[in-house]
């Protein structure tokens, strides 16, 4: 068996971030999770930090430090998405104050220090929320950029259109200036946007399979997914809410479930009407140096089978 991949998971839990955390926490043989960092996004910073620790406790992974990070975007005002995640950020899942506290120190210096300490090219960054922490770390210490193995992020939209505006997906829209810094950093990028995640739907059949597992963590995941399915856009006869953020972890664990295309990815930061839109250009010459890839197709049944395997 190959050595586990080292990674930092940067997130804003959030219903689907919580399921992504479950998948990461329950994959210790493949993923060496160096830490979880949280950011203001789907809900406010105190809630995202609490929610990450709560899911950590449910998954029995208190060995993984959780560092709270930025409390607002780099430039624009905060954009709350509590209407999609509930007042607590975790839908109807019962919440509590976790036993283990936050790790000492802000997320940004933790990211910088970890990347400088670990061997160059050995640490993957996974981003499932606004990219504020990562962009600020790159600005604080540019020497970390060539040391990053790759960045896998959930964000953006092309053919699917946006979910906040006609052209912008939430994670990019919430901090487009940070997303632009990351996308222009030159790091290898794996972008899993709405074009892909809208294919991975929490249908009643897939939720029933998770419920049948009978484990506490599977029950928590079912609660989260059923909350999303109760929202107006995803009620029957629609096929269920998209499973956005867990696709990043699923790609790390089972890349064969995804089809990727080389692309140049830009982020709009100047135009009011299209703020946060991602410009995805597939017309890349064979010899052109492009280090970013865009997810176009996903085996949705394969993603849910992987989730069931890890929550069983």
List active site positions: 244
With b for 16 or more beta-carbon neighbours within 10 A and e for fewer, the 52-66 pattern comes to bbbbbebbebeebbb
DSSP assignment string, 143-195? GGGGGEEEEEEE---STT--SSSSSB-HHHHHSHHHHHHHHTS---EEEE-HH
Question: Coil, strand, or helix at residue 32?
Answer: strand
CB neighbours of residue 17 within 10 Å: 32
Backbone dihedral region for residue 259 (phi beyond 0: left; psi -120 to 50: alpha; all else: beta) = beta
Give bridge partners of residue 262 from the DSSP assignment.
293
Could you tell me how far CA 76 lies from the centroid of its own chain?
21
Question: Coil, strand, or helix at residue 276?
Answer: coil
Classify residue 159 as exposed, middle or buried by CB count within 10 Å of its CB (0-12, 13-18, 19+): exposed
């Amino acid at each position: 068996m190959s050595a586990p991949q080292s990674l930092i998971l940067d997130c804003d839990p959030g219903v689907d971030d919580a399921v992504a955390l479950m998948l990461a926490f329950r994959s210790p043989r493949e993923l060496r999770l160096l830490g979880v960092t949280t950011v203001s996004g789907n809900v406010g910073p105190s809630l995202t930090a609490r929610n990450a620790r709560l899911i950590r406790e449910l998954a029995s992974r208190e060995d993984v430090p959780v560092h709270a990070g930025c409390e607002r975007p780099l430039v624009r005002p905060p954009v709350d998405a509590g209407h999609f995640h509930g007042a607590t950020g975790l839908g109807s899942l019962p919440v509590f104050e976790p036993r283990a506290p936050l790790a000492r120190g802000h997320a940004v210096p933790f990211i910088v220090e970890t990347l400088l300490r670990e061997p160059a090219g050995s640490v993957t960054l996974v981003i499932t929320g606004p990219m504020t922490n990562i962009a600020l770390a790159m600005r604080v210490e540019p020497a970390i950029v060539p040391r990053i193995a790759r960045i896998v992020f959930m964000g953006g939209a092309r053919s699917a259109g946006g979910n906040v505006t006609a052209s912008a997906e939430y994670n990019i829209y919430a901090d487009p200036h940070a997303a632009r810094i990351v996308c222009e950093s030159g790091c290898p990028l794996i972008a899993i946007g709405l074009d892909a995640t809208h294919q991975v739907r929490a249908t009643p059949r897939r939720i029933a399979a998770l419920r049948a597992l009978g484990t506490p963590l599977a029950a928590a995941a079912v609660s989260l997914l059923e909350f999303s399915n109760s929202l107006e856009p995803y009620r029957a006869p629609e096929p269920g809410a998209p499973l956005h953020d867990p696709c990043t972890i699923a790609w790390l664990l089972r890349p064969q479930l995804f089809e990727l295309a080389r692309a140049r990815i830009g982020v709009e930061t100047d135009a009011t009407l299209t703020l946060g839109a991602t410009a995805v250009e597939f017309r890349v010459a064979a010899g052109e140096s492009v280090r970013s890839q865009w997810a176009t197709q996903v085996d949705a049944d394969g993603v849910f089978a992987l989730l069931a395997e890890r929550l069983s």
